[in-house]
């Protein structure tokens, strides 16, 4: 008797379900993506106890006739791939034909669908067809899934708590809404609306509906392209940061993807604008020829392979850098007050208008989403004159507080400037530009600087001496394990030459990185921090003026090299609100 046999279709579907259906959110993902592929304009997801008891997805898409409704539950049955070559031109979210049979094999499913006229109802339990009957004629499809993993106890016990499952579902629907702003999404749990978008087709309005006013009003539009990729979307100013990457949404040809290299490219664009442990809110849409990407590398289709990833990474990083560079990024301090009921008042959107404007009555701010959206589509990123906006603030220092924060003002606002962070940014850019400058200028020392080393450090330094000489240092051996510096580049901080050289020698010996760009950056960061005015160190008004005037000339005057803000502002309105001069 043969030992090898073909497994049953139900068993094969259960095995496939182990790859495709991990949790409740996996079921939602597959069903909602099918609704999108069916050209739905409105999709409603209803959960009972976060879908642990049951869930349903209702759409107004094209629907199915009876024959297709039954065939859809067969493994590898799909309307999206007709021939082998179609695999290289995938323009739909689903294409494997595994989702429905996998879901049906580990749950109880009721499908109601219609293209027009009499509809079809299909009931399947654990992969077995229970009944087929006529249904209502509403065009579209409704799928109800209950008792998920009821026949696979080993999988059932790995479901998370209700709150965790709901959180995963909400996060996915939010991202799907951002990927499809033209579709109206409604998500309810136990009858309560959790997510609701209008399907207006306006991405910025959808961002507002998902994240609220604070995030949407701090968004910066981006739009750029190269020979292979078109990118567009919104990035948030670095005054709003998150503790994880969940709010970095990347969408490729309409598909939500999680790609480590893309996330790194986004983070690189924010380099020195934020701390390394914080992450921005980003909605990045990438469109490209489907032949240069491969979405068929993972059963859940959430990862993607790019054939020209380096070009894409460069495009993303540079576009974000340029957008941040030309934006006014002074951190604004929000004032929150308490009413008679001791509840915190947060500005809310109180009124929608047909023309997609939002009126923020509490703050008297008109936010024109349509205008911003059109600007994104019509204008490419262009480099403007360096920081004209921050120069135009015309800040005048009037004193300091706690020996650390410079108080400055103009006609409308008050500003606090962290003197250490500000000078650290100035020194960082000076040192970094000096390191990157091919035309090295040097100065001779009247009295050479002597540096004594241990035997092991001296050997390491001799091996890497060219790093220092390439920077413009003139170095000679001076006895046992000792060197003297006779000439140094002019970018060293004046008055800190000896300390700077000692710090630099230490970095060359102990923290040398073969990546010269990273090594230079590490040098600039380390030396800038050590050579900058400290907190609790009093400086004169003249020094304050010079610090501010130099800061506004920096490429990024808003953050220190480690991403901390250099300057925050209080508006006149916010100050008067604190002192109850205004009460709304």
Q: Please state the rounded mean pLDDT for residues 212-224.
A: 92
Q: Please state the rounded mean pLDDT for residues 113-140.
A: 88
Half-sphere exposure of 543 (CA within 13 A, CB side): 15
Domain of 124, in residue numbers: 9-171+183-195
Distance (Å, rounded) from C-alpha 185 to C-alpha 61? 13
The reply to whether 106 and 72 lie within a common domain is yes
Cα angle: 154, vertex 160, 163; to 5 degrees: 155
The full DSSP string for 419-473 is HHHHHHHHHHHHHHHHHH-SS--EEEEEEEEEEE--HHHHHHHHHTHHHHHHHT-
The reply to whether 415 and 281 lie within a common domain is no
- CATH number assigned to the domain comprising residue 163: 3.30.565.10
- Can you tell me which residue has the tokens 């292979």? 228
The reply to whether 21 and 120 lie within a common domain is yes
Whether the Cβ atoms of residue 222 and residue 212 lie closer than 8 Å to each other: no
Residue 65 banded pLDDT, cuts 50, 70, 90: confident
Tell me what pLDDT residue 17 has: 47
Tell me what pLDDT residue 333 has: 66
Burial of 569 (0-12, 13-18, 19+ CB in 10 A): buried
In b/e form, how buried is each residue of 112-139, taking b as 16+ CB within 10 angstroms? Answer: bbbbeeebbbbbbbbbeeeeeeebeeee
- Can you tell me which residue has the tokens 């894409």? 312
Each residue of 293-352: pLDDT tens digit? 776 555 555 667 778 889 999 999 999 999 998 887 777 766 555 444 443 333 333 333
Q: Please check the confidence at residue 1 and state whether its pLDDT lies above 70.
A: no
- CATH number assigned to the domain comprising residue 474: 3.30.1370.100
- Residue 350 in domain: no
- Residue 382 in domain: no
The reply to whether 543 and 519 lie within a common domain is no
Tell me what pLDDT residue 300 has: 52
The reply to whether 155 and 247 lie within a common domain is no
Whether the Cβ atoms of residue 9 and residue 150 lie closer than 8 Å to each other: no
Tell me what pLDDT residue 584 has: 63
- Residue 445 in domain: yes
- Residue 143 in domain: yes
Q: Please state the rounded mean pLDDT for residues 439-466.
A: 88
The reply to whether 241 and 320 lie within a common domain is yes
Q: Which of 161, 195, 229 is the last residue of a domain?
A: 195
- CATH number assigned to the domain comprising residue 293: 3.30.230.10
Query: Which of 262-271, 339-348, 460-469, 507-516 is predicted least confidently?
Result: 339-348
- Residue 542 in domain: yes
The reply to whether 209 and 328 lie within a common domain is yes
The reply to whether 149 and 25 lie within a common domain is yes
Distance (Å, rounded) from C-alpha 318 to C-alpha 323? 9
Tell me what pLDDT residue 341 has: 42
The reply to whether 546 and 444 lie within a common domain is no
Q: Please check the confidence at residue 150 and state whether its pLDDT lies above 50.
A: yes
The reply to whether 445 and 398 lie within a common domain is no
How many domains is the chain partitioned into structurally?
4
- Residue 269 in domain: yes
- Residue 373 in domain: no
- Residue 426 in domain: no
The reply to whether 555 and 483 lie within a common domain is no
Whether the Cβ atoms of residue 107 and residue 149 lie closer than 8 Å to each other: yes
Residue 510 carries which DSSP code? H
């Amino acid at each position: 008797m043969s030992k090898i046999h073909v497994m049953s279709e139900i068993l094969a579907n259960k095995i496939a379900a182990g790859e495709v259906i991990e949790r409740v959110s996996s079921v939602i993902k597959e069903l909602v993506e099918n609704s999108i592929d069916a050209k739905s304009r409105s999709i409603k997801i209803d959960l009972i106890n976060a879908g642990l008891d049951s869930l349903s997805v209702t759409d107004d898409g094209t629907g199915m006739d009876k024959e297709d409704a039954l065939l859809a539950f067969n493994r590898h049955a799909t309307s999206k791939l007709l021939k082998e070559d179609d695999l290289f031109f995938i323009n739909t979210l689903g294409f494997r034909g595994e989702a429905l049979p996998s879901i049906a094999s580990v749950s109880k499913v009721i499908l109601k669908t219609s293209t027009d006229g009499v509809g079809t109802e299909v009931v399947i339990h654990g992969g077995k067809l229970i009944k087929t009957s006529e249904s209502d004629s509403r065009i579209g499809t409704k799928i109800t899934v209950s008792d998920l993993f009821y026949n696979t106890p080993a999988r059932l016990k790995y479901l998370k708590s209700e709150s965790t499952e709901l959180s995963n579902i909400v996060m996915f629907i939010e991202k799907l809404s951002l990927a499809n702003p033209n579709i109206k999404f409604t998500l309810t749990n136990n009858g309560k609306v959790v997510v609701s978008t209008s399907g207006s087709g306006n991405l910025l309005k959808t961002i507002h509906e998902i994240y609220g006013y604070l995030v949407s009003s701090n968004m910066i539009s981006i739009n750029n392209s190269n020979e292979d990729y078109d990118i567009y979307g919104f990035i948030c100013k670095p005054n709003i940061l998150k503790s994880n990457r969940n709010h970095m949404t990347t969408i490729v040809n309409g598909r939500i993807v999680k790609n480590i290299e893309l996330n790194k490219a986004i983070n690189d664009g924010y380099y020195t604008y934020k701390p390394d442990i914080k992450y921005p809110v980003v909605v990045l849409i990438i469109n490209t020829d489907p032949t240069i990407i491969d979405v068929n590398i993972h059963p859940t289709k959430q990862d993607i392979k790019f054939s020209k990833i380096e070009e894409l990474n460069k495009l993303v990083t540079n576009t974000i850098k340029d957008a941040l560079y030309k934006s006014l990024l002074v951190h604004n301090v929000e004032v929150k007050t308490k009413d008679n009921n001791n509840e915190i008042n947060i500005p809310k959107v109180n009124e929608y208008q047909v023309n997609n404007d939002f009126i923020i009555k509490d703050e008297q701010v008109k936010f024109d989403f349509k205008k911003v959206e059109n600007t994104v589509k019509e204008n490419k990123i262009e480099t403007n004159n360096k920081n004209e906006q921050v120069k135009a603030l015309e800040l005048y220092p009037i004193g300091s507080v706690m020996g650390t924060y410079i108080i400055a003002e103009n006609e409308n606002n008050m500003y606090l400037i962290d003197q250490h962070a500000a000078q650290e940014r100035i020194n960082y850019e000076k040192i970094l530009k000096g390191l990157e400058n091919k035309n090295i200028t040097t100065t001779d020392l009247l009295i050479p600087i002597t540096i004594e080393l241990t035997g092991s450090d001296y050997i390491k330094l001799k091996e890497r001496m060219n790093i220092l000489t390439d920077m413009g240092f003139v170095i000679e051996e001076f006895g046992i394990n000792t060197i003297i510096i006779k000439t140094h580049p002019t970018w060293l901080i004046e008055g800190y030459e000896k300390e700077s050289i000692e710090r630099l020698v230490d970095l060359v010996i102990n923290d040398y990185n073969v990546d010269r760009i990273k090594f230079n950056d590490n040098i600039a960061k380390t030396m800038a921090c050590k050579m900058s005015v400290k907190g609790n160190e009093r400086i004169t008004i003249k020094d304050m003026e010079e610090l501010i005037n130099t800061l506004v000339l920096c490429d990024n005057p808003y953050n220190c090299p480690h991403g901390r803000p250099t300057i925050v502002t209080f508006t006149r309105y916010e100050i008067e609100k604190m002192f109850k001069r205004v009460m709304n």
